[in-house]
Structure 1
Amino acid sequence: MRRILIVGGGYAGFYTAWRLEKKLRRDEAEVTLVDPRPYMTYQPFLPEVAAGSVEARHVAVSLRGHLRRTTVIAGSVTEIDHAHKTATIRPLDGPDRPFEYDVVVVTAGAVTRTFPIPGVAEGAIGLKHVEEAVAIRDRLLTAFERASGLPPGPERTRLLTVTVVGGGFTGVEGFAELLSLATALLKRYPELTASELAFHLVEAQGRILPEVTDDVGRWVVRHLEQRGAHIHLNTQLVSAEDGHVVLSTGEEYDTELLIWTAGNGANPVVAKQTDLPIDDKGRLLVRADLRVGTEDAPIPDAWGAGDNAAVPDLASPVPGALTVPNAQHAVRQGKRLAANLVADLRGRRVKQYAHHSLGVVATLGLGRGVFQYRRLVVKGFPAWVMHRGYHVLAVPTWERKVRVLLVWLSAVVFGRDIVSLQSVQQPRAAFTAGGTPRPATGAPQWPTAVTPLRRPSPAALAGQPTGPDRVNGSANPSPTNG
C-alpha cells in the first residue's frame, strides 16, 4: 500500500486525514500524521477561552479520538528529503528516526512571529495555542484578586493594565474579549473602579483588522475607545523589560499582562529543512490544485496547504493573489487536498482550489461583534450572534459542537465562571509547601531506608528526657504531623 505522511495536525492536516479516512479503501493506503500535540486546536475560539466564555478542552479536538484509521505519532518532523522520500521524525521521547513515505502532505502551519524587542521573549504570552489562552485568563483573574487587596496606587494600576501587541483578528478579538471580561469582573470587586482599568492595543500600521474595509476598521476603533480602551495606531513596541512598556511615541507605563499577536512567521521546517521549493517568505510553493511546485514544474507525490503554503487565490480579482492564512481557507484546503490526493492515486483528474469568501466576522466581547460581506456590514448584537452561529457550525465533530453550546447556555443562566486556576501551572507548589525540605543543590536526595515510628518508651511518657525522635532517618526534635 502507498504510505502517506501528513506533517502537522492543524486545520489543514486534521481535515486532510479525516477526509482520507472516509475516501480511501482500507487496502489502498496507510496514513501517518505527525504532530507534537495530541489535538487540533480550533483557534477562532481562543479569544473566548481567554475570556472564560468557552471551556478550554472544548476547543481541542483529539487526534486519536477522531482519526481512527490514521497512525498518529507524537513528535515533530525536523527534515524532509523528498528526493529520497524520507522524513526525519523527532518523537517526544527517544532518538530521531527516519520515516520512508510514498506521498507527503505538508501542513505544518505557521509559528508566532516575534522581533528582538527587550522583554518580549521573557514576559509576553502568545494567543495561538489553548495553553496560552488559559494562562492569559488565569493571570487576569489572579491580577484582579491581588489588586483588590491593595490600596490605590502604582502597583494596583499595574495589575489592572493589559497590553496587546498586534491589531489583526486574533489581537482585536482577544483584546475585546478580555476587556469585556475585566469590565464584568468589576461587579465582583467593589474595591476596584472602571477608571483603574487600562487596556492598550498597539498596532504598527495605521489601522486594525486589515480584512475589513477602512470604515469598519475605524468604527471598531471608536467602539473600543468608547469602552475605555487605548488604541495606539502607527505605534511600535520599543521595550517591555520587567513589565515596563515603552512605545515608539514616547509613552511609558507598567503592565501586568503582555500579549503578543503581531502576526505569523514561516515554519522553520518548511523554510529551512526541506528540499521542496519555497517562496521568498519561506512558504511552500503550491499550485492551485495544492500540488507542490509551479504550474510548469509540479513536484510528484508532494502536496501542501494551510498557513505554511503559498496557495493561489483563484477567487481574487487581483492577479497573483494568495489565499489569506486563516481557518476558513485551511479547513477547505484540507478537504480539497484529500479529494485531490485520492483522485491522483486512482488516476483521475484533480480539481483546483477556489473559495469565495463568506465574509468576515469578529467578536468584540460578550454581546458585541462586527460582520462584513462585501458592502453589507452588521454591527453589535446581531453580528455577535452570527459569529457564534458560524463558529459552532465550523468547529469539527458534533461532540464538540454540543459541548460548546452547553457551556454557552449555562453561561446565560449562571454567568461567567471567574475561578482562576493559575496554580495548575505549578502543581507541586502545594505539595512542597508542606514543610518537606528540599536539597540546596543537585538532584533530589531520597532516603535509602525508612525507620518506622515506635511506641514511646515509659520514660518518655513519664516526661523524662530522651534522644530526638527520628523520622525517615533524620533527627527531628519537634513533633511531627500525626
Structure 2
Amino acid sequence: MTHTETSTAARAVPKILIVGGGYAGFYTAWKLEKHLRKGEAEVTIVDPLPYMTYQPFLPEVAAGEIEARHVVVGLRRHLKKTRVVTAKVTGIDHATRTATITPAVGDAWQESYDQIVVTAGAVSRTFPIPGIAENAIGLKTIEEAVAVRDRILTNFDRAANLPAGPERDRLLTVVVVGGGFAGIEVFAETRALASSLLKDYPQLRFEDTHFHLVEAMGRIMPEVSLKTSEWVLKDLAKRGANVHLDTQVTGAVDGNVELSTGEVIPTDLIIWTAGVMANPTVVRGSDLPVEERGRIRTRADLRVGTADEVVEGAWAAGDVSAVPDLTGKGVGGYCVPNAQHAVRQAKLLAKNLVAVLRDELPREYIHHNLGAVAGLGLYNGVFQSRNIALKGFIAWCAHRGYHGLAMPSWERKWRVIGDWWHNFWLGRDNVSLQTVQNPRYVFEEFASRPRPAAPAAAPAAPAIDPKSVAAEKTGAAEPKVEEKATAAS
C-alpha cells in the first residue's frame, strides 16, 4: 500500500465527537470503547471539566458524609481509548460537520466530525428575582456541594462567638428553594448535619437553627405518590423543618429572602434547586433543531430529528435532549431529565451508533421507571416503586444500595463505600475548608513587599566663590549692576 493510500485509509476512519462529559456523555464514550472494534472509529469527548459528577451523591457531600473527590469520575482515568479535550464547545455547524472548540487558554479551533453526540446536560434554571443571581448557590456541581458544606460549618463557628440575636439567627438559617428530589435531599441532609454539629457547640441550641424549604407547588416530590410526599413532610416537621408550600421567592437582596406570603427570612445560605434547563451555550450555538423548551429535538432511537425526519450524523441524550417517552408516562410526552434516563439512553445510544456505522438499524429507547429513592439524612429515607412505598431505615438502605451499585467503575464504588464505612465508626469529618476558595490569604498577609522607593534628593545648592565671600567681609565687593550704570551716567 502506498503512502497516499495509507493516508486515505486513515482519513476514512469515522470521527465521533461527544459534546459533554456528564452522565450521558461519559457513559456513551465508556460503552463505545466496549462496542467498537479496533480502528472502527475515533472518539473524542469535549467538556470544560475533566470529570463526570455523580449528582445523586451531592446532598451527601454537602452533609459531609462522602469525600468530594470520590463522587467524581476522572475522564482520562476511565476512558482509555477516547481522546479527552478539556474545553467548551461554543458552536456546532452540522451542515459542514464542524464544531468550534474553545479552551480556557489558547485559541479556539474547528473540529471536524462524521458523527456528533450532544450530551451537554443541563444547568440550574433561575428567574429574574432580585438578589438570587448574587446570593444563591445551586446544587449541580461538586464545587457547589462543597461550598454548601463549608458555609454551614463556618457559620456555626462564627455563630458560636455571638450572643443570641438577629446576626446569629441569620448565620444559622438555611433556605432551600425547590421541593423536588434534589431540594428535599439537600434540605434533609443539611438539616441532619446541623443537628449533629450541636454536640460540639455548647453555646448553641437546636432552637437556634432554622431551616426553610420554599416550594411554589402545593406538594413536594412529584416523583412519588401524594401519600408518600405527605409522610416526608411530617418526618421533616419532626426534625424542625419549616416548609412553605404554594409559596414563591420574590426577592433575596442582601440575603433577605422575601416570600410571596409577605414573610422575610434573613439568611446567609440560599440553595437553589428549582428546576433545570438545557445547556444554553451548546443549544444556542448549534444549527440542530430545538423544541419549545429549548432542548434538542430527538427521536426515540436517539438520533436528532422528528419521527418523520432524521438529521443524519447527529445524536442526543440526557437533559439537553427531548426524547419521546414511549411508556406514555413522561411529562409532556418526553422523558424527564434525570440520571436514570440519561444513563440508560447513553448505553443504548452507544449501541445504536455502532449499529448505524455497520449499516444496521438502531433500536428505540423505552424505559419503565424503576421507582424513586431519596436519602433524608443518616438512617432515614424514602423509596417509591409503583404502589410500593418504603420509609425510614429500610428505604435508606435501598437508597445507598442502589446508588452504590450505580456509581460507575469499581474503583469509584470502593471509595464511596469506604467513606460510608469510616463514617459509621468515626462519624462525620466536620472541618470547614472554606478558605480553600482563597488559598493565598495567609501567604498574602505575611508576604514581604518591596520597600517603597526612597524620596528624590533635593537639588544641590549653588557653589560659593571664596573670593566673593572675602570681598563682602572687607566691604570691597563689586558694585551691583544698577550701581555701575548710575556711576556711568
Match of 2:35 in 1: 23
Q: Distance in 1 between matches of 2:329 and 2:112?
A: 41
Match of 1:412 in 2: 424
Match of 2:63 in 1: 51
What is the one-letter code of the residue matched to 1:288? A
**How far does residue 348 in structure 1 lie from its aligned partner after superposition?**
1.3
Which of 310, 319, 334 is the matching residue for 2:322?
A: 310
Match of 1:189 in 2: 201
Contact 1:270–1:283, Cα closer than 8 Å, also in 2 = no
Which of 349, 354, 378 is the matching residue for 1:366?
A: 378
Which of 121, 128, 138 is the matching residue for 1:116?
A: 128
1:191 to 1:399, Cα distance in 2 relative to 1, 3 A: same
Match of 2:405 in 1: 393
CA RMSD in angstroms comes to 1.3
Match of 2:177 in 1: 165
Which of 221, 227, 233 is the matching residue for 1:209?
A: 221
Which of 154, 157, 182 is the matching residue for 1:145?
A: 157
Instruction: Tell me the TM-score normalised to structure 1 length.
Output: 0.90
Cα displacement string for residues 290-323 of structure 1 (whole angstroms, at most 9, x for unaligned residues): 0110111011111000000011111235796211
Which one has a bigger Cα radius of gyration? 2
Q: Distance in 2 between matches of 1:337 and 1:106?
A: 11
Match of 1:465 in 2: none
1:40 to 1:234, Cα distance in 2 relative to 1, 3 A: same
Q: Distance in 2 between matches of 1:209 and 1:416?
A: 27
Contact 1:243–1:254, Cα closer than 8 Å, also in 2 = yes
Contact 1:368–1:381, Cα closer than 8 Å, also in 2 = yes
Q: Distance in 2 between matches of 1:197 and 1:269?
A: 39
Instruction: Tell me the TM-score normalised to structure 2 length.
Output: 0.89
Q: Distance in 2 between matches of 1:114 and 1:436?
A: 44
Match of 2:189 in 1: 177
Q: Distance in 1 between matches of 2:447 and 2:36?
A: 59
Contact 2:278–2:321, Cα closer than 8 Å, also in 1 = no
1:143 to 1:320, Cα distance in 2 relative to 1, 3 A: closer
SS at structure 2 position matched to 1:172 = helix
Q: Distance in 1 between matches of 2:331 and 2:26?
A: 30
Contact 1:270–1:282, Cα closer than 8 Å, also in 2 = no
Q: Distance in 1 between matches of 2:255 and 2:46?
A: 37
Q: Distance in 1 between matches of 2:295 and 2:282?
A: 7
1:342 aligns with 2:354: yes
Q: Where do 5+ consecutive residues of structure 2 fail to align?
A: 1-12, 455-489
1:292 aligns with 2:304: yes
1:36 aligns with 2:31: no
Aligned residue pairs: how many? Answer: 442
SS at structure 1 position matched to 2:200 = coil
Match of 1:453 in 2: none
Contact 2:381–2:393, Cα closer than 8 Å, also in 1 = yes
SS at structure 1 position matched to 2:220 = coil
Q: Distance in 2 between matches of 1:473 and 1:220?
A: 64
1:76 to 1:317, Cα distance in 2 relative to 1, 3 A: closer
Contact 1:166–1:262, Cα closer than 8 Å, also in 2 = yes
Q: Where do 5+ consecutive residues of structure 1 fail to align?
A: 438-446, 448-471, 476-482
Q: Distance in 2 between matches of 1:266 and 1:335?
A: 20
1:331 aligns with 2:343: yes
Contact 1:238–1:247, Cα closer than 8 Å, also in 2 = yes
1:73 aligns with 2:85: yes
Match of 1:380 in 2: 392
Match of 2:292 in 1: 280
Tell me which moved more, 267-276 or 351-360: 267-276
**How far does residue 266 in structure 1 lie from its aligned partner after superposition?**
2.2
1:383 to 1:146, Cα distance in 2 relative to 1, 3 A: same
Which residues in structure 2 correspond to 1:381-460 (within 5 Å)?
Answer: 381-434=393-446, 436-437=448-449
Match of 1:230 in 2: 242
**How far does residue 253 in structure 1 lie from its aligned partner after superposition?**
2.1
Contact 2:53–2:141, Cα closer than 8 Å, also in 1 = yes
**How far does residue 26 in structure 1 lie from its aligned partner after superposition?**
2.2
Cα displacement string for residues 160-181 of structure 1 (whole angstroms, at most 9, x for unaligned residues): 0000011111111000000000
**How far does residue 356 in structure 1 lie from its aligned partner after superposition?**
1.3
Q: Distance in 1 between matches of 2:68 and 2:361?
A: 41
Q: Distance in 2 between matches of 1:9 and 1:158?
A: 38
Q: Distance in 1 between matches of 2:34 and 2:281?
A: 29
Cα displacement string for residues 9-46 of structure 1 (whole angstroms, at most 9, x for unaligned residues): 00000000001111112211100110000000000000
Q: Distance in 2 between matches of 1:225 and 1:291?
A: 46
Q: Distance in 1 between matches of 2:329 and 2:21?
A: 31
Q: Distance in 2 between matches of 1:271 and 1:5?
A: 16
**How far does residue 86 in structure 1 lie from its aligned partner after superposition?**
0.8
Q: Distance in 1 between matches of 2:243 and 2:231?
A: 12
Tell me which moved more, 315-324 or 343-352: 315-324
SS at structure 1 position matched to 2:318 = coil
What is the one-letter code of the residue matched to 2:382? V
Contact 2:100–2:111, Cα closer than 8 Å, also in 1 = yes
Match of 1:250 in 2: 262
1:92 to 1:252, Cα distance in 2 relative to 1, 3 A: same
What is the one-letter code of the residue matched to 1:428? R
Contact 2:138–2:272, Cα closer than 8 Å, also in 1 = yes
**How far does residue 474 in structure 1 lie from its aligned partner after superposition?**
6.2
SS at structure 1 position matched to 2:333 = coil
What is the one-letter code of the residue matched to 1:395? M
1:106 aligns with 2:118: yes
Q: Distance in 2 between matches of 1:285 and 1:473?
A: 63
Q: Distance in 1 between matches of 2:104 and 2:21?
A: 15
What is the one-letter code of the residue matched to 1:22? K
Contact 2:330–2:336, Cα closer than 8 Å, also in 1 = no
Contact 2:90–2:282, Cα closer than 8 Å, also in 1 = no
Contact 2:318–2:337, Cα closer than 8 Å, also in 1 = yes
1:311 to 1:36, Cα distance in 2 relative to 1, 3 A: same
Contact 2:89–2:282, Cα closer than 8 Å, also in 1 = no
Match of 1:456 in 2: none
Aligned sequence identity (%): 61
Q: Distance in 2 between matches of 1:340 and 1:278?
A: 22
Match of 1:458 in 2: none
